[in-house]
Amino acid sequence: MGTEGGAAVVIFDFDRTIIDGDSDDWVVTQMGLTHLFRQLISTMSWNSLMNKMMEELHSRGKNTEDISQCLRQTPISPSIISAIKSAYSFGCDLRIISDANEFFIKTILKHHGMAECFTEIITNPTFVDKEGRLRILPYHESPHGCNLCPPNMCKGLIVKHIQASVSQSRKKTFIYLGDGKGDYCPSLKLGEVDHVMPRKKFPLWERIHCNPTFIKAKVHEWSTGAELEKTLLHIVSTLSNEANKTINLLDS
């Protein structure tokens, strides 16, 4: 891995950002759970509902390999894969903060050869119980006190923790990519030297455009995988050039 882009921490949402759609929706639809899902969606939280869907799959005789096989067919833009691998080669610190779950994310990343690119994947934890059923747990088990985020995960708190941990070494520029309502809170934690990349005409983009003065970071919108790749790599290469100029001045 290179070191040129080492000044940047790049944080990705997963659903509708790394993959084009939603991994939960994909599994529910492709594995025949839509009817039950719609029956229960008004009765429990999303996280609990997805755990219930895994229970239903197990009762139908489906195992984790069946779920993995479904996940490996999830649509993803080749440009997104290229962007992630290129940013990694620049030396960026890549992380994921997602309200999906560990099993879904890791299965898809591994299938596309991207698992080793990420320093950290922060999401709802999973485990396979002794009966072979996949279980999904909430990331935050106790109230986090943020009214912008769902009860099981405050991405803003997570970003603040990452900012505190990486600033102990040296100043880092943050780049945050996302699409949903839950990506607004972490976007508010970014500073003037940071960058946020909302997916155009998705909830994060709409919220930023309703109140643009609340966001201190530079805003770069994108719609397609190709646009994400072009925009992200432009930011990373610019940061790389600036870092190299600083190093050269210090050495001279």
Residues annotated as catalytic are 13, 15
CA atoms within 13 A on the CB side of 225: 17
Three-class secondary structure assignment of 198-242: EECCCHHHHHHHHCHHHCCCEECCECCHHHHHHHHHHHHHHHHHH
Residue 131 tokens read as 């009966």
**Angle 103-108-53 (CA atoms, 0-180°, nearest 5)?**
45
Q: Which residue is it, tokens 């197990």?
A: 58
CB-based contacts of 51, cutoff 8 Å, min separation 6: 135, 136, 137
Q: Specify which residues 222 forms β-bridges with.
A: 199
**What contacts 143, CB < 8 A, 6 or more positions away?**
151
